[in-house]
Structure formats: structure tokens, C-alpha cells
Amino acid sequence: MSVAEQLDMSSLLVDRVGKTFSARRSSVVAVESVSFTVPPREVCILLGPSGCGKSTVLRMIAGLEIPTSGRITLSGRPVLGPARERGMVFQGYTSFPWLTVRQNVAYGLKLNGDFGALREGTVDHFLESVGLTRFANAWPHELSGGMRQRVALARALAATPELLLMDEPFGALDAETRWQMQELLLKVIRKERMTVVMVTHDVEEALLLGDQIVFLSSHPGRVRTIINPPFKTDSAIRTREDLRAHPRYAEMERDILQMMREEGKH
Amino acid sequence: MSQPVQSQAVPMTPDANATTADSSAAMPPLSPWPVKVRWFEFKHPVSALSKVWLGVAAWLVFLLGWHYAATSGDANPLFPSPLAVLDALWTLFAERGFASDVLASLKRILISFFLACSIAIPLGILMGAFPRVESAFGPLVSAFRYLPAPAFIPLLLMWLGTGDTQKIALLMLGVIWFLITLVCDNVKQTPVDFIETAKTLGGSRRKILWTVVVPASLPNIVITCRQMLAVSWTYLVIAEIVAATDGIGAMIMRARRFVNVDDIMAGILVIGILGLVCDLLFRGLYWLMFPYLRRR
Ligand SMILES: Nc1ncnc2c1ncn2[C@@H]1O[C@H](COP(=O)(O)OP(=O)(O)OP(=O)(O)O)[C@@H](O)[C@H]1O
Ligand SMILES: [Mg+2]
């Protein structure tokens, strides 16, 4: 891919990024020289063993953490801090308890004074996409964990970010709800044609949703390999069963699990 | 449920369970095993009726015990019965213009508490939200928290004279430092994820302060105010002991000079009742302000 193409509209460029956390005496090199590119409308998955620096990379893209080396650009503009163009969904429940579901989803637009989008029914559109229309007037504490994550997803999407960031958004959910959420997310991502960077350590999730899997090795986090699974773009695959039945799935899963095990040994 | 929920009228049940559910519906209802519900049970919900009943019962036991203790032996003027206190209370209001004392005290409490809050809440919020502000004011506020407010009475008398201003200032000094510290702690409880979410949605610091930090900590701030208002009432008598001509505390001090124990007790009773009313008002306010916290 040429440099001109890399600087294409709305592509994310992570260029030799490193992060060292320094405490009083000791310092931890969390991430070292990580580079990858996410073209527009593609889903990039950050995968790797626990503690390898996935969250750190994601938080640097969000602008919530400042890199100690390297640069990050989105559509050619440098990332200097958090902004509406890079929305984020966290692992924990972050729906605001003092707002109803609808108010939560509308929050980003209100914050930016985007009353045009509010009038055009953006909020209803995304409530519909995540299947929460019926719960629009409920309080978050009346919802299940999966529904609360759908609120967080709809809230991030409603602010119409160029890039959607997610840090193990389904990590706190039980297995059954997680599959449902993965399938829902696949549907929403395909429909909205979002550019996404997502952290997970669930291999199945990575293969189902990713156009590109950036596999990080641990201590310090470096890019070990980049894998391009074919499943997200295959419109025949809609559910977990479709994915598992695909002839290439078993082999890819085995390879990734093998890498995970190797990294875990260090 | 990956499909939108609204498309299903009934929540999905796995097929295996569906058959058993059908067959059990045909059978007569089955009463559960008798399970003993213990009187002392952790976190056991209490109905509104039992709450009133239990509260009234404790009061009755207290009043009956008091009455019995006061009337069993020889009549002791230093330990009047509850009825004697009620009688004294009636005389105070009907014949000796006690209502204006109560109003004077109430006014002092409300003005001083309002002033204390209007300084402590904004400062506490800024300290809780911004570590730099806390570093600046924290040590100062902590030091003042340890100074006993009554020790300031001589100073306040010299600076502010003997009028209402001095009493209001003392009542303020009694609560403001704790208010600042507690509000600061309430604000610090705001989850980091909430703030970071708002940042990634494009919020400026001012907007995040108003739309995330303040609403997230407001319920606890209201509780803090409720508790500190109670503390304010406990300072009332101290504030009205010195150089006061009116107020509940002044009445109590006058009664002490003439050893009118029933008047003293009546004064204490009035403070208790007013405190209770304030507490109930704050609970009502909390209920109105935070519908999302009503039952959980
Ligand atoms: N704020 C911080 N201060 C100091 N060290 C940190 C901080 N945040 C992360 N680290 C360190 O950086 C390394 C990477 O952390 P990070 O949270 O990015 O890992 P992760 O891949 O997201 O792990 P997990 O899968 O468990 O979420 C860890 O060794 C961690 O101890
Ligand atoms: Mg992480």
C-alpha cells in the first residue's frame, strides 16, 4: 500500500507507537514500536495475551493516553487528544444512570449542540439498530448487562464518529449474551459501514468481526503478525454457527490459539 | 437476543424448557415448601407499614419507660415526666411567646446553612474534580476542620458583635469545613469511565463538569447536606448560649437559671422535632430529584 493510499480519507495510521509508564522508581514499557493501518470501513482487531498492551494502544488512539514515541493520525490529522471523531465503548457499564436510555443515546449529540441530527431522528435510528426502541424510556439500572452495552454502543454510534473504538465491550457478559452481541455488532458494522478498532482476547470474536487482526506479543507489546480473516466480508456468515461451519475457520482458530499459548509461556 | 427485542412479544425460552413449561401449566398450582422467614434477616425489605409501625413502637417504649421512671418514685422536679414536658411546651408557646424563639433559631440555621452550602458545594466540586484545586485548598480545609468552632466564639464576639451575624458565622464555621471535605469526596467517586466516555464524545471540560461530574455526584451531595444540617442543629445551643436574647438555646439557658427542667426538656424536644422535619424534607427532596434511584 502506498503512502498516498495510507493517507486516504478516514484511514487510521499508527506509526511506530510506543508507551512507557513511569512510576516513582520503576518504569514499564507497555508497548514498543507498534505500527498498523486501518483503511476506511474496515474492522481492526487487537488481539493478544493479557497485559500485552492492547488497551494501552486503544487508549492512545482515543487520545486518552499520550504516546511516548511514534505518531497516530486519522485521515491525515494528528491525534492530540480525545475527540468526537473517535468514539469509544468501554468494557464496564458506562451508561449514565441519571439519564434514560434515549437521553443516554442522545447525550453525545446534545453535548455537541448537534440539534440538526437530533431532529432528524438519529437517536431513534440507532436505538432501532441495537434493538432498544422498546426500552427508550427505561433507566439503565432496569436493563440487563447486554442491553446496557447496547446503550453504550448506540450512544457512541449516534455521535457519528469517523472511527469507533471498543475495549472488550462484551468482556463482562455471559457467553450466550456475548454471542448475541457479536452477531448484533456484525450486523450494525456491516450496515453502518463503520471503521472500527476493537480489543478482545476472544479468538472467535476476533475472527467473526475482523477484516484485520493485529496480534500483539507481550512484554513489551509488539506486533507479532497481522492476519486477514475472510469472514466479515462474507455476507453468507451471519451467526456464530455459520462462522464455525466455514471450512477455513478451524485452521485459523487453531493457529491463533497456538500463538496465544506461545506468548503465554514467556 | 441479537434480534431487536421489540419483534418478540414473549421472551425467548430454550425449546427444551418450553415443553415442561406447557405441561406444568396444566397441573394445579403447587404451593411452595414452608420456609421460615427470620425476624433478623440481612437486607430484608421492610414494607412501608412495618416501617411506621416499628418506628412508632420504639418511640412508645421510650416514652413509657420515661414516664414510668419519672412517676414511680417521689415526684422529682429535676426529672419531669413526658406529660409535664408537654405541659411546659404548651405554656411556652401559649403564654411566653416561644414561637418567636423557634423562628429566630430556624432563621439562623437556614441562613447559615445556605451560606455554608453556597461556598462549600462549588469549592468541594472543584476540589473533587480537579486534583490541582484539591492540592491547593485541601491542606487549608483539613487544618480548619480540626479547630473547634466554639473556640471562635470570643473572636466572633469581638469582630461581629453580639447580634445575629455572630451566631450565623459560628453555625457556618461549625459545618463548612466538613461540608467541603465531604462534597470533595463525593465528587471524587465519579467513575473515570464516565468522564472518559464524555471526552470521547467530544465534551469540553466545562461541559463534562456540568453534564457528568455534577449529576453523577449530586445524589451523594444531597445526602451529605442532609447529614451536615443535622450537625448544624447540634451547634445551635452553643451558638445561642452566649450573648443571646432570643432563640431556643437562649430560652434553655434562661430556664437553667431558674432550674425549670421541664422547659429545658421542652426546648430539647423542639430541636429534635425540627431536626426530624428537616431530615424528612431532605429525604423528600432526594426522592423528587433522583427518580432513577427510587427503588433498588
Ligand atoms: N496507568 C498505568 N500505569 C502503569 N502501568 C500501566 C498503566 N496502564 C497499563 N499499564 C501496564 O501496561 C501493560 C499493558 O497494559 P494494558 O492494560 O494495555 O494490557 P491489555 O493488553 O489491555 O491487558 P488485558 O487483556 O488484561 O486487558 C501492563 O503491564 C500494565 O501493567
Ligand atoms: Mg485491557
B195 occurs within a structural domain = yes
Q: Residue A184: which residues within 8 A CB-CB, separation 6 or more? A: A130, A131, A150, B2
pLDDT class of B213 with cuts at 50, 70, 90: very high
Q: Is B201 in Cβ contact with A96 (below 8 Å)?
A: no
**pLDDT given at position B275:** 92
Q: Which of A98, A99, A167 best tests the B interface by mutation, with the highest count of B CBs <10 A?
A: A98
Q: What is the ipTM of this complex?
A: 0.89
Residue B11 has pLDDT above 70, yes or no: no
Task: Burial-class residue A246 by CB neighbours within 10 Å (0-12, 13-18, 19+).
Answer: middle
Residues 6 or more apart whose Cβ sits within 8 Å of residue B130 = none
Residues B197, A181: C-beta atoms closer than 8 Å = no
**Looking at domain A3-85+161-264, which CATH architecture does it have?**
3-Layer(aba) Sandwich (3.40)
B278-292 pLDDT, tens digit per residue, is 999 999 999 999 999
What is the C-alpha to C-alpha distance for residues A69 and A181, in angstroms, rounded to an integer?
35
Whether ligand 1 lies within 6 angstroms of the CB of A52 is answered as yes
Q: Does A217 contact ligand 1 (Cβ within 6 A)?
A: no
> Which structural domain range is residue B158 located in?
78-293
The larger pLDDT score, comparing residue B176 to residue A240, is at B176
A111 contacts in chain B (CB < 8 Å): 198, 201-203, 207, 211
Q: Give the minimum alpha-carbon distance from A186 to chain B in angstroms, rounded to a whole number.
A: 10
Residue B217 distance to chain A (closest CA, Å): 10
For chain B, how are helix, strand and coil distributed in percent, rounded to 5? 75, 0, 25
If phi > 0 it is left, if psi is from -120 to 50 it is alpha, else beta; for residue A113 that is left
Q: What is the mean pLDDT of each run of 10 residues along chain A (266 residues)?
A: 52 90 86 91 90 92 93 91 93 93 94 83 88 92 90 92 92 83 85 90 87 87 83 78 81 84 73
Compute the distance between CA of residue A244 and CA of residue A239 in angstroms, rounded to an integer.
9
* Number of domains composing chain B: 1
**Residue bearing the bigger pLDDT, B35 or B171:** B171
- Helix, strand, coil % in chain A, rounded to nearest 5: 40, 25, 35
Helices A145-158 and A122-129 cross at an angle (nearest 10°) of 140
Percent of chain B with pLDDT over 90: 60
Residue B7 confidence class, pLDDT cut points 50, 70, 90: very low
**Amino acid identity, residue B148?**
P
Do the Cβ atoms of A213 and A206 come closer than 8 Å? yes
Distance (Å, rounded) from C-alpha A202 to C-alpha A170? Answer: 10
Q: How much of chain B, in percent, has pLDDT values that exceed 70? A: 91
Is B128 among the domain residues?
A: yes
- For residue B22, what pLDDT is reported? 55
pLDDT for residue B136: 96
B18 domain residue, yes or no? no
d(CA B199, CA A82): 6
* This model's pTM is above 0.90: no
Q: Residue A180 has what pLDDT?
A: 83
User: Number of Cβ pairs closer than 8 Å across A and B?
Assistant: 89
* Average pLDDT score over chain B: 88
From A54, A61, A68, give the residue whose CB has the most ligand 1 atoms within 8 Å, as the site to mutate: A54
In chain B, the residue whose alpha carbon lies closest to the alpha carbon of A87 is B200
The segment with the largest mean pLDDT, out of A166-180, B40-54, B198-212, B238-252, is B198-212
Domain-embedded: residue B284: yes
For residue A214, the SS3 value is strand
Nearest CA to ligand 1 atom 17: A55
Kindly provide the b/e burial profile for residues A82-118, where b requires at least 16 CB atoms within 10 angstroms of the residue's own CB: bbbbbbbbbbbbbbbbbbbbbbbbbbbbbbbebeebe
State the smallest CA–CA distance between residue A82 and chain B in angstroms.
5
Residues 6+ apart with CB under 8 A from B15: none
Q: pLDDT class for B117, splitting at 50, 70, 90?
A: very high
Query: Cell for A76?
Result: 491525515
Whether B161 has a pLDDT exceeding 90, the answer reads no
A28 ligand 1 Cβ < 6 A: yes
| Structural domain includes residue B64 | no
For residue B16, pLDDT over 70 is answered with no
Among candidate residues A194, A189, A190, the one with its CA nearest the CA of residue A86: A194
Residue A243: the pLDDT is 79
Which CATH number characterizes residue B95's domain?
1.10.3720.10
If one compares A144 and B57, the residue with the highest pLDDT of the two is: B57
Instruction: With a cut of 70, say whether residue B222 has pLDDT above it.
Output: yes
Closest CA to B2 of A186, A139, A183: A183
**How far is the centre of ligand 1, averaged over its atoms, from the C-alpha of A90 (Å)?**
15
Q: What is the pLDDT of residues B71-93, one digit of tens each?
A: 887 777 788 999 999 999 999 99
- Name the maximum alpha-carbon separation found in chain A: 54
What pLDDT is attached to residue B97? 87
pLDDT at B121 over 60: yes
* Cα B198 to middle of ligand 2, angstroms: 19
Contact B6 A94 (CB under 8 A): no
CA torsion through residues A17, A22, A28, A30, sign: negative
Task: Tell me which chain B residue has its CA closest to the CA of residue A186.
Answer: B2
